[in-house]
């Protein structure tokens, strides 16, 4: 009969597959994203110019984030809040005068850049503040669950005697 692989052997095989490029992640290749952006330039140059300059913090977070392909969330957090700050100006450009001159006029307005980059900063703050908050919430709920289980165990011992709490033979 064939021997079953151990957990260590399975983990090593998975790590080797990821190194070989078979990680199976759903992330897009950075080259593909850049090619799509380059294809959009001739059709909507004012929009691309405004998005490129105002979304620079997102592009930097995306390009510099470390970690494996499945655990890259900084650029999503920063990008979502950054894009929320850019959307009003995009709508103003789209439903107003959609020219390159108007886009550059917006980009030279300090208020536009302050809102866009300030929102990106808020995204970074959310990204750094959420893990400790979630960890403390999970810790509190785990402690409460342990307390409830201990109370239930105490009630069982009171109802059934000390034999209930003894370890069963294996």
Pull the structure tokens for residue 106: 């917006």
Q: What does the buried/exposed string (b/e) look like for 14-36 if buried means 16 or more CB atoms within 10 Å of the residue's CB? A: eeeeeeeeeeeeeeeeeeeeeee
Burial of residue 104 (CB within 10 Å: 0-12, 13-18, 19+) is: middle
> pLDDT in tens for each of the 170 residues of the chain?
567 766 666 667 766 666 655 444 445 688 888 888 788 777 788 998 999 999 999 999 988 887 776 777 888 999 999 999 999 999 999 999 889 999 999 999 999 999 999 999 999 999 999 989 999 999 999 999 999 999 998 998 888 888 777 776 66
Q: pLDDT value at position 64?
A: 85
Flag whether the pTM goes above 0.95.
no
């Amino acid at each position: 009969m064939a021997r079953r692989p151990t957990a260590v052997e399975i983990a090593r095989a998975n790590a080797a597959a990821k190194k070989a490029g078979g990680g199976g992640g759903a992330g897009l290749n950075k080259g593909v994203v850049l090619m799509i952006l380059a294809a959009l330039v001739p059709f909507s140059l004012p929009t691309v110019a405004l998005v490129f300059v105002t979304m620079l913090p997102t592009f930097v977070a995306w390009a510099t984030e470390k970690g494996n392909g499945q655990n890259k969330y900084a650029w999503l957090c920063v990008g979502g809040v950054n894009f929320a700050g850019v959307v009003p100006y995009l709508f103003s450009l789209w439903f107003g005068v959609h020219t390159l001159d108007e886009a550059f006029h917006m980009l030279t307005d300090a208020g536009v850049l302050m809102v866009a980059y300030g929102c990106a900063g808020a995204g970074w703050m959310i990204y750094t503040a959420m893990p400790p908050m979630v960890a403390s919430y999970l810790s509190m709920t785990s402690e409460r669950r342990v307390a409830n289980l201990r109370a239930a165990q105490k009630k069982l011992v009171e109802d059934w005697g000390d034999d209930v709490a003894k370890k069963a033979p294996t």
